[in-house]
Structure 1
Amino acid sequence: MNTPSKVRSVGYGWGVLVVAGAGSYYFAKRSINADREERAMAEERRRQQRENMRTQEMVSRGASAGTGAGTTTAQHSAKRKENAAIATGADNLDPSRQVEGGDPAPVTHEQTRMAQRGRYEAAEPYKTRGGDRFS
């Protein structure tokens, strides 16, 4: 028999359960977000350290190459531009930059077209083979 006291006790039990669940959800979510933030900060620090190491390596390579007596100022500026492009991670697909840097293999038109397309873009657009499937 459902007496008013039983109905109140069941309602009270459900209320306590809902409040406990909401509290545990709140604290778990806060903990998870703190862990995510910590991992993101650690990843950012590692990325910055790698970038700093690459930059230092490029600078040390440039310093170890030195300046010889037979090099011209134009060759030095071209080398500095190349080192800067490598340090920033820029692709060296621009034909004018390759000619300027003295690249022995110039870029072809096909390579230039490929550089302009997206990485996952098809070389030629998709064309259906047959007719309509409903005909």
Structure 2
Amino acid sequence: MNTIRSVGYGWGVLVVAGAGSYYFAKRSINADREERAMAEEKRRQQRERMRIQEMVSRGASAGTGAGTTTAAHSAKRKEHAAIATGADSMDPSRQAEDGDPAPVTHEQTQMASRGKYEAAEPYRAPRGDRFS
């Protein structure tokens, strides 16, 4: 027969076992998350290095050819300076080349502010007596 002491002992063992399993599971989950975060950061840094190397190689191949002159280099610098200062900002063809995303509407910003599973409008119960 179960006594109050044996029931208390059983619950105590159950609580200790549950707490131990929770502790080790949480530690394992956190280690996995940290490992994934470090791997993602490493991939991001690698992509950034490759992007910079690509930009440098493009600049080196485009700007150091045998037929380029200092006048051509100064013209390119002036063009880049004009783009950087926004001198051609009114030219539609320049704006298209900038790679700007399409304009965002008010509805799109509202969609982004809501959660993935959140309803577009809150649920409102229908009025009236449902039991008659």
**TM-score, reference length from structure 2:** 0.59
Q: Distance in 1 between matches of 2:107 and 2:62?
A: 34
Structure 1 segments of 4 or more deviating over 3 A? 77-82, 114-119
Q: Which protein has greater RCO, CA pairs closer than 8 Å, 6+ apart?
A: 1
Q: Which residue identity does 1:16 align to in structure 2?
A: V
Q: Identity of aligned pairs, percent? A: 62
Residue deviations 1:19-72, cap 9 Å, x none?
110011011101100110011011000000001001100110000002512514
Task: Report the number of matched residues.
Answer: 102
Match of 2:95 in 1: 107
Check 1:41–1:105 CA distance in 2 against 1; reply closer, same or farther (3 A cut).
same
Q: CA RMSD in A?
A: 3.7
Tell me which amino acid in the other structure corresponds to 1:21. Answer: G
Matched, 1:45 2:53: no
Cross-structure match for 1:12: 9
In structure 2, distance between residues paired with 1:66 and 1:119: 45
* C-alpha distance in 2 between matches for 1:61 and 1:120: 36
Unaligned runs of 5+ in 2: 111-132
1:26 and 2:5 aligned: no
Taking structure 1 as the reference length, the TM-score comes to: 0.58
